[in-house]
């Protein structure tokens, strides 16, 4: 599947994969802040933003294969690939299916464990509600940290806009794809490239223990926990997020 993609800058290729149920629009501050040092490539994962959903069964593997195809389109043999939350799940699927395409990995506000049966069942409920005309705006308070909810009105408004724009079909498809994802700890143990793990100290969705377990599993990983950041750290605290990425990329090259 060909993905609609926004890019900025030149140099070391850095592909950033967005969270659910957002789009490449969430990486605005990364395209702006990181383009001086690298080629920032931010696709809309299938079904979101400008990318078509297609007819495949829900699967993060399909999303990962799309990203491998995107690298081909851009003539990139390898790239640093980073993802936030669902984007992190896709990054881990890419590491499983196309490990030779990775020059480094960034896993932000994500986890390696699969869904519990209860969480998977809940995703199916959400998927059906979406296909029945429901929306996801009630999830916005969970996506953000307390600091953003109390003091960053612009961020809250922006995230509401991004979540409100998510197409129901794609959001339902992605919920089912995430419910079916496997345990990724073995994939992380087998990573042969350096990794940056990013967490938010106010993340209500990814517990710190998950992030620490992930960091421990990766042979060459560094962990950065961002203060006053919730689940959408790249949007909530973009300067700190970008500093962590820049320092990682500098050490890589």
- Contact set with ligand MLT (CB under 6 A): 19-20, 85-86, 178, 205, 231
Tell me the H-state helices in the chain. Answer: 28-34, 60-73, 86-97, 117-131, 140-143, 146-151, 153-164, 168-179, 185-189, 208-217, 233-236, 238-252
Minimum Å distance from CB 127 to ligand MLT?
A: 12
Minimum Å distance from CB 178 to ligand MLT?
A: 5
**Which lies closer to ligand MLT via its Cβ, residue 23 or residue 39?**
23
What is the spatial order of strands in the sheet that 102-108 belongs to? 5-8, 38-43, 12-17, 79-84, 102-108, 195-200, 221-226
**Which lies closer to ligand MLT via its Cβ, residue 205 or residue 213?**
205
> For residue 182, which of 125, 112, 243, 81 has the smallest C-alpha distance?
112
Q: What is the C-alpha end-to-end distance of the chain, expressed in Å?
A: 31
Residues 25, 28, 34, CA angle at the centre, nearest 5°? 140
**Which lies closer to ligand MLT via its Cβ, residue 86 or residue 112?**
86
Minimum Å distance from CB 112 to ligand MLT?
A: 12
**Which lies closer to ligand MLT via its Cβ, residue 28 or residue 35?**
28
Minimum Å distance from CB 173 to ligand MLT?
A: 13
**Which lies closer to ligand MLT via its Cβ, residue 24 or residue 85?**
85
How many Cβ atoms are within 10 Å of 186's Cβ, its own excluded?
11
Cβ contact 13:35 at 8 Å: no
**Which lies closer to ligand MLT via its Cβ, residue 103 or residue 229?**
229
Eight-class DSSP state of 209: H
Q: How far apart are CA 108 and CA 81, in angstroms?
A: 11
Q: How far apart are CA 51 and CA 45, in angstroms?
A: 7
Cβ contact 83:15 at 8 Å: no
**Which lies closer to ligand MLT via its Cβ, residue 173 or residue 194?**
173
Minimum Å distance from CB 239 to ligand MLT?
A: 21
CA distances from 72 to 42, 77, 238 (A): 15, 7, 29
Minimum Å distance from CB 61 to ligand MLT?
A: 16
Minimum Å distance from CB 14 to ligand MLT?
A: 19
């Amino acid at each position: 599947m060909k993905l609609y993609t926004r890019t900025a800058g030149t140099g070391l290729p850095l592909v950033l994969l967005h969270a659910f149920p957002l789009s490449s629009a969430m990486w605005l501050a990364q395209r702006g802040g990181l383009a001086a040092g690298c080629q920032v490539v931010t696709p809309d994962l299938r079904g979101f933003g400008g990318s078509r959903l297609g007819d495949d069964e829900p699967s993060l593997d399909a999303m990962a294969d799309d990203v491998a195809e995107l690298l081909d389109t851009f003539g990139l043999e390898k790239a640093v690939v980073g993802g936030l939350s669902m984007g992190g799940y896709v990054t881990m699927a890419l590491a499983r299916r196309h490990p030779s395409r990775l020059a480094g990995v960034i896993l932000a506000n994500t986890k390696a464990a699969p869904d519990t049966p209860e969480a998977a069942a809940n995703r199916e409920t959400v998927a059906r509600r979406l296909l029945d005309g429901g929306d996801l705006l009630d999830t916005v308070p969970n996506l953000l940290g307390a600091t953003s909810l109390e003091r960053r009105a612009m961020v809250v408004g922006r995230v509401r806009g991004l979540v409100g724009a998510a197409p129901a079909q794609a959001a339902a498809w992605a919920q089912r794809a995430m419910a079916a994802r496997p345990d990724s700890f073995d994939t992380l143990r087998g990573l042969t490239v350096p990794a940056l793990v990013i967490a938010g100290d106010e993340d209500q969705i990814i517990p710190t223990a998950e992030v620490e377990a992930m960091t421990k599993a990766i042979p060459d990983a560094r962990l950065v926990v961002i203060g006053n950041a919730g689940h959408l750290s790249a949007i909530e605290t973009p300067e700190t997020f970008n500093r962590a990425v820049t320092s990682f990329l500098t050490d890589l090259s």
